[in-house]
Chain A
Amino acid sequence: MEPEVRRELLTRFDSRLNVAMRMYLDTCARCGVCIRSCHVYASMPELKYSAVHRAEVIRKLFKRYFKVQGRVWTSLGDSADLTDDMVETIYQAAYSCTGCRRCMVHCPFGIDTQMIMSIAKLLLIAGGREPKVLSMLADMSIQKGKATAETRANYARAIEQLRDEVLSRWREAHGEKVVPLDVQDANILYVALAGKHSIVPAAAIMNAAGEKWSLSYYEAVNFGAFLGNPEKTRLIAQRIIDEATRLRVREVSICECGTAYRVMRHMMGALPFRVTSFTEVIARYLREGRITLARNRIKGRITYHDPCQLARNGGVIEEPRYIFSQMTDDFVEMQPNRTENWCCGGGGGLVAIGEKDFRMRSGRVKADQIKAVSPDIVSTACENCHSQLTDIVGHYTINTNVRFLSDMVAESLQDPLAPVRL
């Protein structure tokens, strides 16, 4: 590796050394408690797939270039030089980690491996070794955001075509538009993904609740976060913040996308509006009696997969369970669940990159979890998890359907005054 390149990478490394990161890198006792907490290791017991190994890859560089010990007595801490081979190791560590943070739950010090992997991802970007598809998707997302003024009319026309489909789920709209755009002073700005599956059920639910809402022109997914690029993450999130501020909405509700929710809710600091996941909005409507669900309209045993970024890392844990308690008498929990839930294996950008072989092998523990409860439906509230779970049930030939929670709620919508549904 050229000395200038190394210098540049180490400058990037240094830029990430804040209070928390320094303590994370200084503290590990290598007790190994985190080893078995990683779903990849649980599925494929190789140490390179353990949290401690991944963190050590970065920690060895930290010791070598930022600590006295690594400079004076290199071999003592197994410090490592930043070489081209090391960059390959960094890639393997960064992109075998989904950033689910289950290891952080088990670590006696609470070391955040995802945070440490943010250094790995930054080094890969600086060295031009990041997955190009993620860079491309992040750039496209930013470009699309810049060109909104020109594409607004087309977008509005495309959304108008969803009218019949939304009305087939719920017979009326709250306002004139079935899927309203640009509504000033709306209560909710709903940020969807590219795809009607993310818009139609949500529109039906909010219309059923009589909500004054508006659909965002921007898609929620944040490829900058998957890529590990803080600037692009901020740029992608900022356009939604700007739109919400312009419309003076009270609340921004993020569709079923765990990472988009976590970025907006927990990563962007104080905002002039409330940030919720759409799952929270549904639970609130049910609690307030603004919507009711036809109990057991959806037949069969249902289980729920907690998306890591929504549950363990986002705090949306009991809301989906409350929703199921209103929807069905045949709900069963996978074990473990909630904070301890196994990651599906699709996070951290792995679904977007592809990596199907790795994802399927690392998803074995999730497949076992599903098989153990023999559900007819596996529900979830995250696009990445949905894609990964769909691949998993196909790969492991599990006889079950994977469905979005919002889609199931929309299908179960019932008017308490006029129970006959159109």
Chain B
Amino acid sequence: MQDRIYSFVMVPMVYAALGVFLAGVIVRGMKVLLAPRQHTTLQIFPAPRHPRLRALADTFLLPTVRTDRPALWFCLMLFHGALVLLVIGHIELMLGIRALQIFPHQGFLGGGLVGLVLTIALCFFLVSRFRTPYREISVPEDYFLLLLLLVTVLTGSHMSWASYISPAGFDIAVQSHREYLSSLLVLRPSVPAGIAGSPHYVLVALHIFFANCFLMFLPFSKIVHTFFALPLNLIRRGGLYGARSTPGTADAL
């Protein structure tokens, strides 16, 4: 029974999660794209000389957060930077990217440090949510997402952290992870014996389970800011719907 649950989490649920994720993102995106156009400008003045560059800076450097909440800004930058490494790391784990060996490493770039940074940042976000006035503006979704991410990161990071703690290291080889992930990619899924036979299998399955849940929930959550942050900043800076761009009506008041 236990093996069947693990197998379900490791294979069919992964595809189901990906399906829900893709369908959700597409539906959500289409709802926005097919909505009536904004006819009038919503920009803030003065208009920057290079609205698109300014919008990019707003999106990726978060200047107003740095001014208003420097500690949050620091953690956000660390968190998003680590997230990028995390995505690259998983792709590397799947495909093996030689170019990344410019910084010699095993597993994926950043290893356990990425997980550590993410854990610290997530803990900061979580603790912040319990402080006034942020507690009062938070909704259950905010805590749910942070906890879901935290357990996903913790169960994933333990694979790297274990290597530092014990000289024997973590008993699942990088090669086994690569085999598993590649098999998913080429639609010939299998859980290699190196994973299935390991006493750590339960933690790997939990990591995959939480990651699946996160993927499935993402399109229905506020994390769609991943996709909308740049267009919204373009609107603010006049890179989209700039002043006097199109004829229209007074629909912003």
> B249 touches which one: A21, A108, A269 (CB < 8 A)?
A269
> B68 touches which one: A36, A50, A313, A338 (CB < 8 A)?
A36
Per-residue contact bits, chain A 7-33, to B (CB 8 Å; 1 contact, 0 not): 000000000111111111011111111
Which residues from chain A contact B69 at a C-beta distance below 8 Å? 31-33
Which residues from chain A contact B221 at a C-beta distance below 8 Å? 69
Which residues from chain B contact A105 at a C-beta distance below 8 Å? 44, 64
Is A312's CB under 8 angstroms from B44's CB?
Answer: yes
Chain B: CB-nearest residue to A267: B250
Any B CB within 8 A of the CB of A163: no
Given contacts A19-B32, A112-B42, contact A315 B137 (CB under 8 A): no
Any B CB within 8 A of the CB of A175: no
Is A35's CB under 8 angstroms from B246's CB?
Answer: no
Interface residues on A, range: 35 or more
Most buried by B among A36, A112, A228: A112
Given contacts A104-B236, A315-B45, A339-B45, contact A233 B250 (CB under 8 A): yes
Which residues from chain B contact A317 at a C-beta distance below 8 Å? 45-46
> B45 touches which one: A18, A267, A314 (CB < 8 A)?
A314
> A115 touches which one: B36, B42, B136, B144 (CB < 8 A)?
B42
Is B229's CB under 8 angstroms from A109's CB?
Answer: yes
Given contacts A29-B222, A35-B133, A234-B249, contact A23 B232 (CB under 8 A): yes
Is B47's CB under 8 angstroms from A315's CB?
Answer: yes
> A18 touches which one: B37, B133, B141 (CB < 8 A)?
B37
Which residues from chain A contact B35 at a C-beta distance below 8 Å? 17-19, 21-22
Is A77's CB under 8 angstroms from B224's CB?
Answer: no
CA distance A23 to B134 in the complex (A): 22
Which residues from chain A contact B232 at a C-beta distance below 8 Å? 20, 23-24, 27, 109-111
Is A19's CB under 8 angstroms from B228's CB?
Answer: no
Is A76's CB under 8 angstroms from B252's CB?
Answer: no
Is A20's CB under 8 angstroms from B250's CB?
Answer: no
Given contacts A114-B252, A118-B252, A263-B253, contact A101 B44 (CB under 8 A): yes
Is A269's CB under 8 angstroms from B32's CB?
Answer: no
A372 to chain B, nearest CB (A): 20
Chain B: CB-nearest residue to A17: B35
Which residues from chain B contact A133 at a C-beta distance below 8 Å? none
Is B58's CB under 8 angstroms from A110's CB?
Answer: yes
Is B37's CB under 8 angstroms from A19's CB?
Answer: yes
> A267 touches which one: B33, B37, B40 (CB < 8 A)?
B40
B237 to chain A, nearest CB (A): 8
Which residues from chain A contact B28 at a C-beta distance below 8 Å? 26
A51 to chain B, nearest CB (A): 10
Is B32's CB under 8 angstroms from A23's CB?
Answer: yes
CA distance A286 to B146 in the complex (A): 58
Which residues from chain B contact A37 at a C-beta distance below 8 Å? 68
16 contacts between A and B (CB under 8 A): A18-B35, A22-B31, A23-B232, A27-B222, A27-B225, A27-B232, A30-B137, A33-B65, A78-B139, A104-B236, A109-B232, A112-B42, A114-B252, A225-B253, A230-B251, A263-B253
**Could you list 15 further interchain pairs (A-B, Cβ under 8 angstroms) beyond the known A16-B251, A110-B44?**
A19-B37, A20-B232, A21-B35, A26-B28, A30-B139, A32-B137, A35-B137, A107-B64, A111-B232, A118-B252, A268-B250, A269-B249, A311-B45, A312-B44, A317-B45
Give the 3 A-B residue pairs with the shortest CB-CB distance, closest first.
Answer: A110-B236, A269-B247, A315-B45
